[in-house]
Structure 1
Amino acid sequence: MAITHNPAALAEPVVPVRRSWIGLLFAANLGLWMAFYTPLQVLLPEQIEDLGVAHKEIWLGIVTGIGAIVAVVVNPLAGALSDRTRPRLFGRQFGRRHIWTAGGAALLFLCLLVLAVAPNLFWITVGWAVANVGINIMLATLTSAVPDRVPVDQRGLVSGWIGMPVALGLVLGAILVTAVVTTPPPGYLIIAFGMILLVAPFVLRTPDDPLGEARIPRISFRLDLRGNPDFAWAWVTRFLVMLGNALGTLYLLYFLTDQVKLADPDTGLLYMILLYTVGMIGTAMLSGWLSDRAGKRKVFVVWSGVIIAVAAILLAVWPTWPVAMVASVLFGAGFGIYLAVDTAVVTQVLPAATDRAKDIGVINIAPSVSQALGPVLAAPVVAYLGGYPSLFVLTALTSLAGALAVLKIRSVR
């Protein structure tokens, strides 16, 4: 008898997901991004500074750079393994995703506990590197939930919901580790337990279809980009838009200090983050819903690039505090539109249902590379090639180029 694919695990979903399922996926992504961005932006810098080591900026770059390298390797590998997982217990086969999400969350939890008591740079580096293993296992499997279970005409709305935690995770985490606790050790603990509480309900209360006896090809990371040009252009789009976001946000604190000459740049940066988040929340869900109703994705990506470019040009031409606040809202609004439809676009150009998580993992390499490349490009521009005006012009051009690259995708409207 011929072996056929399990329709629930590998077929294109047609039944709309419920609001409760979207809410649990939103919470899981919030836990993931809170556990990623809070150490990256707040806890690791403070912890390394508290060690009193020389060249703290360089050491922070080394620690986070090693984490980025881990992300590039682990994300597609974890996705490929989850695509092929057939866990069994007492003769019953379970789903292929949740076991990896749970394992990634448990590993991340343990690493955050290690970081809370890390006595030196060696253990901080090891702790954050292994934490990135857990983070990227979770990222690969949680993102795969969209093509696994969400129909195409609902993916814009769902993409908007799971895009918001990218900013909300940082804001919530920053509040927890600055208002509730004030030092890195308890900060890591509160983030660790918060992450588990947010991720666990999705793993325990949502369905995860088993593969059954479906025939799955061996793992291969060879990509036929000539045969799948839309997939290649989706990668380019995400890389350039994320690179533009990295360039535009990397040196905001220094920009407020040296260019705007704000009296309290730390508080100013917090206000900019909050305004950015407000702008993103204001557009993410609405844009996702509208793209579903219109059946179009690419026009929203193009407009997101235009709005981000306008925000960057405002900062380049008028470096004042009122303009910076307006630009923050526009940056967030543009990025919110992009996040609302980006995941939907990606899930519609995946080459094969049997490799959904692996291929999404390959797409997820793009933001990791852009985050690593951002400082390499931004530093010489600020230092030698015209300062902050040139940096924000480069931000505008990069973001716009990424948004226009989506027009090369033919299989998505």
Structure 2
Amino acid sequence: MAATPRDSLGNESPLPFTPTAALEQEAEFIGSGHAAPAADGPNLSKRYQFLIYLAQFMLYIAVVVPGAFSLAIRVEQIAPEAKDAILPLAVGIPGLLSIIVIPLVGVWSDRTRSRFGRRRPWLIGGALISIVGTAMIGLTDSVEMLILGWAIAMIGYSAAGNLITIHLGDILPEEQRGKVMGTLGAINQIAPLVGIVIAGAVVSSPIALFLIPGALAMLGLLAFGLNMKDPQVTEVSKTSGIKAVLSGFWFNPRRYPNIAWVWISKAFIFLALSFSTIYGVYLIASRLGLDPAGVGGLIATAGLVSTVAGIGGAIGSGVLSDRLKTRKPFLIVSALLIGVGLIITGTTASVPQYLIGSIVTSFAIGIYGAVDQALALDVLPREENENGRFLAILALGTSIPQAVGPLVAGGILIAFGGDYLGVYLVGAAATVLAAIAIIPITVGRRATLSTTSTRSID
């Protein structure tokens, strides 16, 4: 079995498509200080750190807000009678394309021998491509062009975002890893809130709704890209092809059952999270009678209180699970709590109920994200010396459900006759399956097998 290059896939950090997914990603940062291998080199200056933070901040404004707000508004402006069917396509198709782009761009950047460096050309290229896609969304009145525009934008954003993470793996020294990655985790939460406020203020202008966040992302990425410490590499690049890259994502679940169960649990959780926001704008508008600006204000408020709840859940659970030397109870309870939060949200009849649902869901996501990442590190088969590959495989457990989730949600909505509650109920059921998938994992205080998750097969 061929393994993919570790310094690209080992640092893979898929962009979250929704605020809830961003919160889970932040909880992972809190829980582990980020699992990417740190480089041995000089500390990054405060100016250089600022440019990284700026690029990440602007990028997350442009990426996360459309999944939670802007795309739903734009779809309703273009095709109000078919919005429920079109929105899943507008979110899901670009998401599927980004799954392909992330690993390939990482590998291709490893092999780039440009005089401008390995990472810089791809990051700047992603920034320029993304602004083209966002401009298409704002200027078109065609559903097809809207989907194409967001697909182009997501390809650019995914490439640029992945290159930031890979670059940090190239140069970030271990003594700065906790601080830098922790700050990026906070940015992952703050940026979408700022973005939703901006989007709510310009919701009546389709061009501004997408071009302003897109322009901010492009400027932030260019400011960082033009100042990257990315020297030219002259050594001969590896010659393995795409087939070898893709084959690295395969593993034998019988040989590594703990890895398989962690993957399954993550997949069900992120499937539920994709359900939690895909129709959020339409749910709030129909149940509470709010206009787009009012919806944006409520989503921003919910995001603020949810961030506090999520961070509290992540910090508290990470410390407590380490002290008790057990992970599984935290994961099982948090998965079920996410389901409770989804049901509260899906049955929303008032603003306070919606906020309560958001708080419960986010608190549980914080617990799950922090402890799940710790468990993922526990079950890595370290004797294989391929941690990067296995972490990349686990990353697919977050990115694939985020991409296919909106498409599945569209089918669920049809099956429930257009009742948004059905999507939330199925999402809650997925969290139950996620909790069940935790039970067979054999690590923790009562484990009798090695935490390397390796079982011999005759």
What range describes the TM-score normalised by the shorter chain of this pair?
0.7 to 0.9
Deviations 1:53-79 (A, max 9, x none): 863443444433432332233223223
Q: 1:396 aligns with which of 419, 428, 436?
A: 428
Q: 1:308 aligns with which of 320, 338, 357?
A: 338
Give 1:308 deviation, angstroms. Answer: 1.9
Deviates more, 1:134-143 or 1:164-173: 164-173
Aligned counterpart, 1:198: 220
Q: Structure 1 pair 368/118, CA: closer, same or farther in 2 (3 Å)?
A: same
Indicate if the aligned counterparts of 1:68 and 1:372 stay in contact, CA closer than 8 A: no
Q: Structure 1 pair 375/361, CA: closer, same or farther in 2 (3 Å)?
A: same
Aligned counterpart, 1:86: 112
Give 1:145 deviation, angstroms. Answer: 5.1
- SS of equivalent to 1:87: coil
Q: Structure 1 pair 156/245, CA: closer, same or farther in 2 (3 Å)?
A: farther
CA distance in 2, matches of 1:341, 1:25: 27
Give the counterpart letter for 1:87 in structure 2.
Answer: R
Q: Structure 1 pair 248/290, CA: closer, same or farther in 2 (3 Å)?
A: closer
| 2:268 is aligned with 1:240 | yes
| 2:353 is aligned with 1:326 | no
Q: Structure 1 pair 238/361, CA: closer, same or farther in 2 (3 Å)?
A: closer
Deviations 1:306-346 (A, max 9, x none): 44234235457885543332221222222344445666766
Aligned counterpart, 2:128: 106
CA distance in 1, matches of 2:285, 2:208: 30
CA distance in 2, matches of 1:231, 1:63: 32
- SS of equivalent to 1:55: helix
Aligned counterpart, 1:185: 207
Q: Which runs of 5+ in 2 are unaligned?
A: 11-35, 444-450, 454-458
Give 1:243 deviation, angstroms. Answer: 1.3
Deviations 1:232-283 (A, max 9, x none): 444323321111122333444555566xx53547636742542233322453
Q: Structure 1 pair 324/369, CA: closer, same or farther in 2 (3 Å)?
A: same
Q: 1:64 aligns with which of 91, 101, 107?
A: 91
CA distance in 2, matches of 1:77, 1:326: 41
Indicate if the aligned counterparts of 1:280 and 1:334 stay in contact, CA closer than 8 A: no
Give 1:191 deviation, angstroms. Answer: 1.4
Q: Structure 1 pair 139/255, CA: closer, same or farther in 2 (3 Å)?
A: same
- SS of equivalent to 1:193: helix
Q: Structure 1 pair 302/228, CA: closer, same or farther in 2 (3 Å)?
A: same
Deviations 1:2-24 (A, max 9, x none): xxx999x9994276976957665
CA distance in 1, matches of 2:442, 2:288: 43
CA distance in 2, matches of 1:178, 1:126: 24
Q: 1:33 aligns with which of 47, 60, 63?
A: 60
Aligned counterpart, 2:406: 371
Aligned counterpart, 2:148: 126
Indicate if the aligned counterparts of 2:130 and 2:153 stay in contact, CA closer than 8 A: yes
Indicate if the aligned counterparts of 2:68 and 2:280 stay in contact, CA closer than 8 A: no
Q: Structure 1 pair 57/340, CA: closer, same or farther in 2 (3 Å)?
A: same
Deviations 1:129-182 (A, max 9, x none): 222221221243334456556688987776654445555444322322332573
Give the counterpart letter for 1:277 in structure 2.
Answer: L
Indicate if the aligned counterparts of 1:276 and 1:331 stay in contact, CA closer than 8 A: no
Indicate if the aligned counterparts of 1:235 and 1:366 stay in contact, CA closer than 8 A: no
Aligned counterpart, 2:22: none
Q: Aligned runs of 1:329-348 on 2, under 5 Å?
A: 329-339=359-369
CA distance in 2, matches of 1:27, 1:180: 22
Give 1:356 deviation, angstroms. Answer: 8.7
Q: 1:141 aligns with which of 129, 150, 163?
A: 163
Q: 1:352 aligns with which of 362, 375, 386?
A: 386
CA distance in 2, matches of 1:161, 1:302: 28
Q: How does the TM-score come out when normalised to structure 2?
A: 0.67
CA RMSD of the aligned region, Å?
4.6
Q: Structure 1 pair 115/375, CA: closer, same or farther in 2 (3 Å)?
A: closer
CA distance in 1, matches of 2:196, 2:360: 22
- SS of equivalent to 1:187: helix
Q: Which runs of 5+ in 1 are unaligned?
A: none
In the comparison of the two structures, how many residue pairs are matched? Answer: 398
- SS of equivalent to 2:111: coil
**Alignment identity in percent?**
20
Indicate if the aligned counterparts of 2:74 and 2:206 stay in contact, CA closer than 8 A: yes
Q: Structure 1 pair 347/78, CA: closer, same or farther in 2 (3 Å)?
A: farther
Q: 2:415 aligns with which of 374, 380, 384?
A: 380
Aligned counterpart, 1:13: 38
CA distance in 2, matches of 1:325, 1:75: 34
Give the counterpart letter for 2:386 in structure 1.
Answer: A
CA distance in 1, matches of 2:113, 2:75: 40
Give 1:225 deviation, angstroms. Answer: 3.5
